[in-house]
Structure 1
Amino acid sequence: MLSLGPAAHAVFGTAAELHGIAGLPRRDEIHVALPGRAAKLARTSDSAIMLHQLEHRPEAVVRVNGIAATEPRLTVTEIILRERRYPAVAVLDSALNRGLLTTECLATIPALIRGRRGAVAARGYLAEADGRAQSPLETRSRLRCVDGGVPPDALQLEVRDDDGYLLGVGDLGWRAARVIAEADGQDAHGTPEAAYADRRRQNRLVNAGWTILRFTWQDTLHPAYIPHTVRAAIAAAHSRRS
């Protein structure tokens, strides 16, 4: 960034990474914006640096750990105009979950993108955003369920016993059927301590009459698998009670 001059600033996925916004596929490119003539004159021998000729107002650029980058709302806006649905919604969810965007801020984005290429799809992504999702895996699992016709009716569902004791919190929930789906990412569940806590929590929930399903990133790559599994669990739960 320093080698490209004082006007250079991170954009797109690079800006999102600096802000800690998750959801985009891991890529090696570093996206840097320069205004007008500066972009035309800039030279770099690093093939991983992608230069973009973009003009941004001074107030739209902030410093993150000393590195200039587009501010969160603009970063997210530019990403959802360019990305497909799953990563776009995951980025929105992540920004909301981290408090980098508010729902009020989100409501201003349609006006910013009006008439721009990709705006129609982006408005759909905005409508699906939900800051309760705590990881891109949770977002992808939710969208698979939506697409498969079994959308969850609760996210981060708290399950308590008759005395109000918290038995556990489920990532995705179908309350009527007492079904919970857990999105098992490596970061949150990869340590022995996390695995032990997951097992104890699952035992409490199962003993309370809940069905627990567990899904991984690999499962989200198969469009029918997650909704089929959820639908089967709901049917089995209704069958047991009839």
Structure 2
Amino acid sequence: MDITELTVRRDGVFSAREALECGVSSSTIQRKVAAGEWRAVTRGVYLVTGHARSARAQARIAVLSVHTDAVLGGAAAAWWLGLHDAEPRKHIVFTRTRGAARRSSATALTRYRHLHDADITEYQGLRVTEPALTVLDASLDLGMSIIDSTLLTKRVTVEALDAAHTRYPRRHRATRAASYLRLLGDGARSEAERLTVNLLTTGGVSGWIANMPAFGYIIDFAIPHVKVAVEIDGFAFHRDATAFRRDRLKRNLLVANGWTVLNFTWTDLVERPTEVVEEVKGALHRAAS
């Protein structure tokens, strides 16, 4: 591959090492920079003049600026792999190199992690973490929803997530990731009830009944004197068409009989508990007035 083809494929970004591998000499690099054809965006990393410094270009710059062994991870890797839509605000870059040999960069948040080869892949010419580890790391910034969505689309499996977590038990915020994984197991339903009971109790909400029968269904948390129902949606990857239809019929029947139905997700319970309680209180106030 020559340097022109490389720059076309790599969003206009390349390293000095890559240029040399394409047969470009050090003197030619210096000449093209001096002539304004290439622009040094950080030490040893160049952008073709006139090429947009796009989000994709910025991700490449972040990785190339750190070290030759650098790997894009976290939410930025999730975006690069097409697991998440939002362009990253920061680029977490992993490297096996410690100390002065590891370059600093204004574009990358560098973290030392000795990644296993099984957790590194190259996608569209950029070294990134494999999907399972990517999803685990990204969930710490994006929340549980990315775990659920990628399980639903079968981009990852629970087994792969567990294996990736086990390989790095002491990594940054591993405890939080472990708590997410525990929620995926068979005890998810009971854990949802425990979390909701705790939220309602500490939030000062009274008069509720857990698992109350009504109209041939079971309301997760019912406040019958004001006809408010709190329903906890299960993980999407566990749901099938039958479960979806059953929940929709239950909701429609409750609403037809004068109930206010509030639906919350796992992400709501774990990451937005205050908002959950306030929404329940708001519904109680409106129902009582």
| Structure possessing the higher relative contact order (Cα contacts under 8 Å, 6 or more residues apart) | 1
- TM-score, structure 1 length as denominator? 0.50
